[in-house]
Structure 1
Amino acid sequence: MPHVVTQSCCSDASCVYACPVNCIHPTPDEPDFLTAEMLHIDPQACVDCGACVSACPVDAIVPESKLAEPQRVFLSINADFYKEQRPRPLLAKVIPAATIDQGRPPLRVAIVGSGPSAMYAADELLTQPGVQVNVFDRLPVPYGLVRAGVAPDHQKTKQVTRLFDKIAAQRGFEFYLNVEIGKHLTHDELLENHHAVLYAVGASSDRRLGIPGADLPGTASATDFVAWYNGHPDHVDDVFDLSHRRAVIIGNGNVALDVARILTADPEKLAGTDISAHALAALRKSRIEEVVIVGRRGIAQSAFTVPEFTGLLALPDIELSVGPDDMVLDPITEKADSLPHAVEQKLRLLEALKNRDHVEVGSKRITLRYLLTPTEISGEDRVSGIEFERNTLVDADGTVRIEPTGDTETIDAGLVLTSIGYRGVPIAGVPFDERTSVIPNEGGRVNEAPGVYATGWIKRGPSGFIGTNKSCAQETVRMLVDDFNHGRLRTPAPDTAALDRLVRARQNGVVDRAGWHAIDKAEVDRGVAHGRVREKILDQGEVSSIVGAAGQVKPRRRKLWKASH
């Protein structure tokens, strides 16, 4: 009886190396790993040993006998991946950890950012004895988009923070949270106190829509909305008007699906999650009945992933539909003898919507629209609707291209959220490519900046999933360690406690490991008291009091862990 990878797959490949028969693919050494939407278990090769279940950090792997009814679709999704045979050895090729040469002085690395890419990089560095890793983040709490981006109803995905907690508990690791580079410390000061600085800051800005009316009240980015309902400190005071019956989301990636799902969910089903209290209160008063998700291109170019859309299909009390005029294939897809696995699965799932039974009248609705380009947002004092131009799909020398038809359509809405991509943000003193919105690098080594490295979205652009950052971080750390072994990195200031004194002199509210543990415990305890998994503490004065009680305001010397060789 095979095991099955389900919706919450984070693609970090821990299961790949745990499997004794190499039946989970793609593996990190295979070319399609970075673009795969999830990992898949070969039902013919699986020996039902359960090793992958223990290795998975997000509980995404389930024996066939224990699949819930909505999960059974993943049986075919996993099996279909292996319709074409994949050449594979008995065991997946393990990517060796970067090794520091014997006799080198202890390596000190600063990591800026504390999300998945940062934590995987820290883990990779700390496989070597004597390494000191200092992780900096401008927020008082760590883990980036896992905490502030993953939807509150995806608690299994958030379980990857358990792995991050284990990484942070290793010798040689320290947090410097609530510390902003460029404000409390400069890039040059980081370099002076470390052999290397590794930037893992993600892509924190949105691409803008740039059409008339885009600045009207009632328009915002989906990213800001996600940050609001997840309790991001920068968005606690945001206000979203949910009084109109319809909201429109421009873009149809996973974030768009998350937002649509939260807007149409029964608030009482969210009450036990870690959704922010202010968002839960607003959703309880919401009058939104329909969310329309709009894409410029066709159904074969849908940006959402198969697992996310499968989860949306499984919702029992949401009417999900796609307009019949929108179920149009582009000429290239229509003529193709075979399609990529993910595209084939998406088309199959969208086609299934035609035969789906409608749920009872009065339920909320999510509508998928395609081939529409927004041209203007209308309204006087605030949004009242959005105008679109209809597109057609053409074959432009083997590439799918959209062409406007001249036909227009207006959709009434009181809330318009854009979800059309992300951009990295420049860092003072660090090279930045404005065109690609990344730190220019080769394999993670930053061009023309000795001792500076990048990983995650700021390295490769906004692509991949939580676990994709693991292999990305491994590549960068190999570059960093190679430079260290060959003497290409500067020697940092000898006083290893100088940085700690400097940080605390500049920022009295710094949060280190002990401070984060105190915040974490307080949030979990409050959650338990109110029947929730966690109740996030959003009042920064209260956060400071908790950290202060944990002894964080008192400067203390930290001992650098010495190499064991």
Structure 2
Amino acid sequence: MAGVGGAARLGARRWLSSRSPAPRVCVVGSGPAGFYTAQHLLKHHDLVQVDIYEKLPVPFGLVRFGVAPDHPEVKNVTKTFGQTARSERCKYYGNITVGRDVTVAELRQAYHAVVLSYGAEDNRTLGIPGENLPGVYSARAFVGWYNGLPENRDLKPDLSCETALILGHGNVALDIARILLSPLDLLRKTDITECSLAALACSKVKRVWLAGRRGPLQVAFTIKELREMINLPGTQPVLNPADFTGLENAVKDIPRPRKRLTELMIKTALQKPGEMAAQAAAPRQWGLKFQRSPQEVLPTADGMRARGVRMALTRLEGSGESAKAIPTGDVEELECGLVLSSIGYRSLPLDPAVPFDSQRGIIPNSMGRVEGAPGLYCSGWVKRGPTGVIITTMNDSFDTAQSVLEDLRGGVLDVSVSKEGFGAVGSILSSRGVRPVSFSDWEKIDAAEVARGKAAGKPREKIVDPQEMLQLIGH
């Protein structure tokens, strides 16, 4: 079979040399969306050549900088991405900021198709008074800090208070709560950064509340993350049984994943303190607060930092996923010295030449084809919004890649004209003093991080300064 496939490919290559040039596709962004798009194109077209551009020297996006350090199994996907990057028809170019170092228009000149897969580089804001006070952080920045994202390396969050409040009921909110309350012995075995581990070692936080505008039936986290939190050694869950009154009946007809999740919350709420071995004399605790909408971050008497949050109590209109939280007029204040806003990530426009819906935070598209711009595509969060897990992004990226393949086969993309690809872009970058980082350069950085980690008894110690990365590879 291999021989037949090989012969077919050779035939295809002969056809290439005598008939038309290979299609050149550029993918902007090396997170899951970028790599899955590239993987699908390479797998389903024998001639296509894919170049992946990334603004950081290091690849993998949110797999490296978003996945919690204590979830190493989720990061295994980088092995597949590495195979894609090492394919003879794929090249990785790190350390290039598209929109600044090279424009989208210049990329479109050099490639038959350009796919924008650069994710969500910002966070949604609360839009309430006091959210800029010291002691208030976005989940995105906090996660970036403990995961070694260069732009967040100097965050220095103040962990000197006993109570933290996380606004949001998603998996990221639970990740943050878990990191704040995890025993240091557990974290020491992960790839969490050295400086965040040192800060957490001095942390006074021993109580974490997670507040959401809606009720138990609308939480966005999944059962795996909730179970992990419930079983976290040295911590006790504090759920109010009153929040779950009448829900035993309501869950009978809802989809199974939601039903199991709600039943686990109910079971936890009804448990007597210390019933679980992990919680016997637990020095730390966490809990879920429902139907609370933040109104204002309250300042200390001197106005210098956050001391709490005023919340509007809400009632639900409608049911299930579409239920809306309506303020009742009642308010309560929750004392806390650390506030983390985990209400979602947000994509930003990359280049004035690319249409962007700032309301929805996405590039307007149809099946990944950017509206009004033939040859321009998008995949991942910038295509559909910052929702879902890696598998969602995989399927979404395959869909976009399929649109590119259809347009190649249907003649929508004119491959009869040869495009220079990186040949042209490399000259532009060189004239602007920009030096790209190759995948083999990244492998040197990777090896250095793993070696540093080994010395500290952990899987890797991430380098958080891009200048240090570049020095390491002789740039």
Name the TM-score, length of structure 2 as normaliser: 0.90
Partners of 2:98 and 2:322 lie apart in 1 by 42
Could you say which structure has the greater relative contact order, defined with CA pairs below 8 angstroms and 6 or more residues apart?
2
Q: Deviations over 1:531-553 (max 9, x none)?
A: 110011123332112222xxxx5
Aligned mate of 2:347, from 421, 424, 430: 424
Partners of 1:362 and 1:463 lie apart in 2 by 34
- SS of the residue corresponding to residue 106 of structure 2 reads helix
Partners of 2:213 and 2:259 lie apart in 1 by 20
What amino acid maps onto 2:29 in structure 1?
A: G
Map 1:323-472 onto structure 2 (within 5 A). Answer: 323-328=240-245, 338-353=253-268, 354-355=270-271, 357-358=273-274, 359-379=279-299, 380-395=303-318, 400-428=323-351, 429-472=353-396
Aligned mate of 2:38, from 111, 114, 122: 122
Matched, 1:484 2:408: yes
Matched, 1:229 2:179: no
Partners of 1:512 and 1:301 lie apart in 2 by 44
Partner residue in 1 for 2:109: 192
Runs of 4+ in 1 over 3 A off after TM superposition: 99-104, 333-337, 394-399, 490-496
Query: Is this contact kept in 1: 2:96–2:434, CA < 8 A?
Result: no
Map 1:104-123 onto structure 2 (within 5 A). Answer: 104-123=20-39
- SS of the residue corresponding to residue 109 of structure 1 reads strand
Query: Is this contact kept in 1: 2:136–2:340, CA < 8 A?
Result: yes
Q: What fraction of aligned residue pairs are identical, expressed as a percent?
A: 39
- SS of the residue corresponding to residue 91 of structure 2 reads strand
* Worse-superposed segment, 271-280 or 507-516: 507-516
Flag the 1:159–1:187 CA change in 2: closer, same or farther, 3 A.
Answer: same
What amino acid maps onto 1:371 in structure 2?
A: Q
Partners of 1:393 and 1:240 lie apart in 2 by 34
Partner residue in 1 for 2:184: 267
* Worse-superposed segment, 236-245 or 500-509: 500-509
Matched, 1:500 2:426: yes
Query: Is this contact kept in 2: 1:242–1:415, CA < 8 A?
Result: yes
Q: Deviations over 1:151-202 (max 9, x none)?
A: 1011111111111111111111111111001111000111111101001111
- SS of the residue corresponding to residue 262 of structure 2 reads helix
Query: Is this contact kept in 2: 1:200–1:458, CA < 8 A?
Result: yes
- SS of the residue corresponding to residue 180 of structure 1 reads coil
Query: Is this contact kept in 2: 1:509–1:544, CA < 8 A?
Result: no
Aligned mate of 1:512, from 438, 454, 462: 438
Aligned mate of 2:214, from 297, 302, 308: 297
Query: Is this contact kept in 2: 1:298–1:328, CA < 8 A?
Result: no
Flag the 1:516–1:335 CA change in 2: closer, same or farther, 3 A.
Answer: closer
* Worse-superposed segment, 420-429 or 320-329: 320-329
Q: Deviations over 1:348-383 (max 9, x none)?
A: 110110226522335211111101111111112100
Partners of 2:425 and 2:325 lie apart in 1 by 54
**How far off is 1:495 after superposition?**
7.3
Partners of 2:272 and 2:140 lie apart in 1 by 31
- SS of the residue corresponding to residue 280 of structure 1 reads helix
Aligned mate of 2:196, from 279, 287, 291: 279
**How far off is 1:499 after superposition?**
2.4
**How far off is 1:209 after superposition?**
0.5
Map 1:196-275 onto structure 2 (within 5 A). Answer: 196-275=113-192
**How far off is 1:507 after superposition?**
4.3
Q: Deviations over 1:104-157 (max 9, x none)?
A: 531111100100111111111111223211111111111000000001011111
Flag the 1:322–1:197 CA change in 2: closer, same or farther, 3 A.
Answer: same
Partners of 2:320 and 2:167 lie apart in 1 by 28
Aligned mate of 2:449, from 512, 517, 523: 523
**How far off is 1:263 after superposition?**
0.4
Q: Compute the RMSD of aligned alpha carbons.
A: 2.2
- List alignment gaps of at least 5 residues for structure 1: 1-98, 554-565
- SS of the residue corresponding to residue 408 of structure 1 reads strand
Partners of 2:319 and 2:230 lie apart in 1 by 33
Partners of 1:285 and 1:496 lie apart in 2 by 48
Flag the 1:509–1:398 CA change in 2: closer, same or farther, 3 A.
Answer: closer
Q: Deviations over 1:376-434 (max 9, x none)?
A: 11112100011112122233899533332222211111110101122211121111112
Q: Deviations over 1:444-479 (max 9, x none)?
A: 111100110011111111222112222211211111
Partners of 1:404 and 1:229 lie apart in 2 by 35
Matched positions, count: 449
Flag the 1:165–1:375 CA change in 2: closer, same or farther, 3 A.
Answer: same
- SS of the residue corresponding to residue 318 of structure 2 reads strand
Query: Is this contact kept in 1: 2:24–2:419, CA < 8 A?
Result: no
**How far off is 1:315 after superposition?**
1.7
Partner residue in 1 for 2:6: none
**How far off is 1:307 after superposition?**
1.8
